[in-house]
Amino acid sequence: MDLVVQSPDELLAAVPHVLGFKPEESIILVPFGPGLPITRVDLPKTARDRDELWDAIADVYGRHARPDARVGIVCITEDRRSAELASQHLSTHLDTVGITTHLRLWADGERWREFNTGATGLQTQATAERIAAKTVLTGAVQPAANRASLAASLVGDREPLAQVLPEARAAAVTRSPSGEREWALDRLEQFHADGNRLTDVDGARMLMALETISTRDALWEDMNSQNTASHISLWTDLTRRAPDEVRTAPASMLGFASWLRGDGARAWCALDEVPADRPYSMAAIVASALQNGLHPREWERHQAQMREVAAELDESFVPKPPGHHNQRDAPRAQPATNRPAPGR
């Protein structure tokens, strides 16, 4: 692709396409080269919030910084003063871990200002359309209108599955967990091959199968960097369709798959679909990975090490395959209090 971004206006137009949604009241760190992630957080408005922001991302940037690393700081807000203070604060701290801030850009939807040089300009619709057209040519999905729209895209019609769930639950009792695990893995493989949406009956059966931890883990361990798109497609669909009582597992699977693909924002939206009265350890751990800015390659490296260890062991010492224990993981019920609002 030809060089796309050559001006602040173009950078502002391109940011939603790399984030997957149009940011609002946000501060975004955009790297100028490989190695660093793109990071978006709500714009801090107080000195304490600015300190907390740096505390939250210091490890991520300290860990991933390469020599001569450069970033741009983009603030999207009408509050120009907060943007200037937050970008300066962040720039100063980034410098301490060897990252140079190449620009500090503020925009309110109509105009922009680069704080380092004082340059100003207008955000134009023509530029936004031109950048969007270029991304269409690459086949990229167009960004959601905002983060709330991204979250809303994970909520679908949940009634059809609710209708067939009692029958699926009754059938699950009569089948062996190991047989259901095999069925679920076969159905996953079929989905990878054809990408066809699961019927209501298959969807309900899959959701029931996921309630057995060893089955869920077998499906989870199928995820790798090559098939995340397929996993995201499957778990997005089931998260959209699953009633509350069976949504914890598919939403957590979607959270993990989204993180594995590098998409932290979508992963948070997925975790928000875990019902608040159904705490689920997988969701909590994925949330930790997101908030710590853990790079997906750490997981793949760890998995590779585990495979090496397993390969070196005599077969008799290899852990029993998933399903050896028919452990169930029905979420614990708990009063729905203090539920956080979906992330913005």
Partner 1 sequence: MNHDDSTPQQSVTERQLRRLVVPAPAAYDPRKRIDVIHEPDLDLLWGGTE
Q: What is the CA radius of gyration of the chain?
A: 22
The residue within the footprint of partner 1, chosen from 8, 9, 11, 204 (CB under 8 A), is 11
Helix (H) or strand (E) holding 238, with range, is: helix 228-241
Give the one residue of 106, 115, 220, 235 binding partner 1; rule: CB under 8 A: 220
Q: Which is nearer to partner 1, 35 or 179 (CB)?
A: 35
Residues numbered 139 to 198 that lie near partner 1 (CB under 8 A) are 140, 147
Q: Tell the smallest beta-carbon distance from residue 179 to partner 1 (Å).
A: 20
294 part of the interface to partner 1, by CB under 8 A = yes
Among 82, 87, 127, 214, binds partner 1 (CB under 8 A): 214
Q: Which of 51, 95, 186, 221 binds partner 1 (CB under 8 A)?
A: 221
The encoded tokens of residue 137 equal 């040519």
Residues 6+ apart with CB under 8 A from 155: 240, 273
Q: Least Å distance between CB 198 and partner 1? A: 23
Q: Specify the stretch interacting with partner 1 by CB under 8 A; choose among 122-130, 157-165, 203-211, 300-308.
A: 300-308
264 φ/ψ angles, rounded to the nearest 5 degrees = -65, -35
What is each CA distance from 62 to 56, 207, 209, 306, 321, in whole angstroms? Answer: 11, 40, 41, 27, 38
Residues 250-289 that bind partner 1 (CB under 8 A): 251, 256, 262-265, 268, 271-289
Q: Phi-psi category of 323—alpha, beta or left, where left has phi over 0 and alpha has psi -120 to 50?
A: left
Strand 111-114 and strand 120-122: the pairing is antiparallel
Per-residue interface string for the shown chain with partner 1, residues 26-45, x marking contact by CB under 8 A: ----xxxxx--xxxxxx---
* Contacting residue, 125, 138, 226, 316, with partner 1 by CB under 8 A: 138
Q: Which helix (H) or strand (E) holds 190?
A: helix 177-194
* Least distance between partner 1 and beta carbon 38 (Å): 4
Closer to partner 1 at the Cβ: 90 or 202?
A: 90
Q: Is 229 in the site for partner 1 (CB under 8 A)?
A: no
How many residues of this chain bind partner 1 (CB under 8 A)? 88
Tokens of residue 145, six digits: 């209108």
Interacting residue with partner 1 among 24, 54, 56, 182 (CB under 8 A): 56
Residue 1 binds partner 1 (CB under 8 A): yes
Query: Residue 130 interacts with partner 1 (CB under 8 A)?
Result: no
Helical pair 177-194 and 213-220, crossing angle rounded to 10 deg: 30
CA angle 11, 12, 14 (to 5 degrees): 65
In the sheet where 120-122 sits, what is the strand order?
A: 26-31, 70-76, 100-107, 111-114, 120-122
**Binding-site string for partner 1 from residue 68 to residue 97, where x marks contact by CB under 8 A and - marks none:** ------------------------------
Rounded Cα distance, 32 and 61, in Å = 14
Measure the N-to-C terminal CA separation of the chain; round to a whole number of Å. 32
Which window, 93-101, 165-173, 203-211, 322-330, contacts partner 1 (CB under 8 A)?
322-330
Site for partner 1, residues 301 to 320, rule: CB under 8 A: 302-303, 306, 319
